[in-house]
Amino acid sequence: AQTVTQSQPEMSVQEAETVTLSCTYDTSENNYYLFWYKQPPSRQMILVIRQEAYKQQNATENRFSVNFQKAAKSFSLKISDSQLGDTAMYFCAFTRLGGSQGNLIFGKGTKLSVKP
């Protein structure tokens, strides 16, 4: 069975600084996707970034980038130039190809607070 682990329940960062959120996963699959979702206080889940396992290049979306280490099964999220609006719960998620395709497995989340 696949599992996703986020080892940092809470983190804080000063506005304009950089922060990295950790995520590790366990799977025997070779083809899969990894995601980071953001859940602000409004509780809506918002996709931040995704990574295809077969791509070696790390995904980047504006101030958000990932460090994907497939051999280590690690998928960390780096937020640069942190903004107050980045304050939210961040969830790492995994889905495999084939079978029950599209079913996301989530970590327990990291609560990020951006301080002015």
Partner 1 sequence: DGGITQSPKYLFRKEGQNVTLSCEQNLNHDAMYWYRQDPGQGLRLIYYSQIVNDFQKGDIAEGYSVSREKKESFPLTVTSAQKNPTAFYLCASSPRGAANQPQHFGDGTRLSIL
Could you tell me the smallest distance in angstroms from the CB atom of residue 58 to partner 1? 16
Task: Give the nearer residue to partner 1 in terms of CB position, either 20 or 39.
Answer: 39
Is the Cα torsion angle 92, 98, 102, 106 positive or negative in sign? negative
Could you tell me the smallest distance in angstroms from the CB atom of residue 80 to partner 1? 22
Could you tell me the smallest distance in angstroms from the CB atom of residue 86 to partner 1? 19
DSSP state of 85: G
Task: Give the nearer residue to partner 1 in terms of CB position, either 18 or 30.
Answer: 30
Q: Is 86 helix (H, G, I), strand (E, B) or coil?
A: helix
Task: Give the nearer residue to partner 1 in terms of CB position, either 86 or 90.
Answer: 90
Task: Give the nearer residue to partner 1 in terms of CB position, either 43 or 85.
Answer: 43
Could you tell me the smallest distance in angstroms from the CB atom of residue 39 to partner 1? 9
Interaction site with partner 1 (CB under 8 A): 4, 6, 9, 32-33, 35, 37, 42-47, 50, 52, 91, 95-97, 100-109
Hey, which bits of the chain come out as E strands? Answer: 3-5, 10-14, 19-21, 24-26, 32-39, 46-52, 60-61, 64-69, 74-79, 88-96, 105-106, 110-115
Q: Which residue has the tokens 């599992």?
A: 3
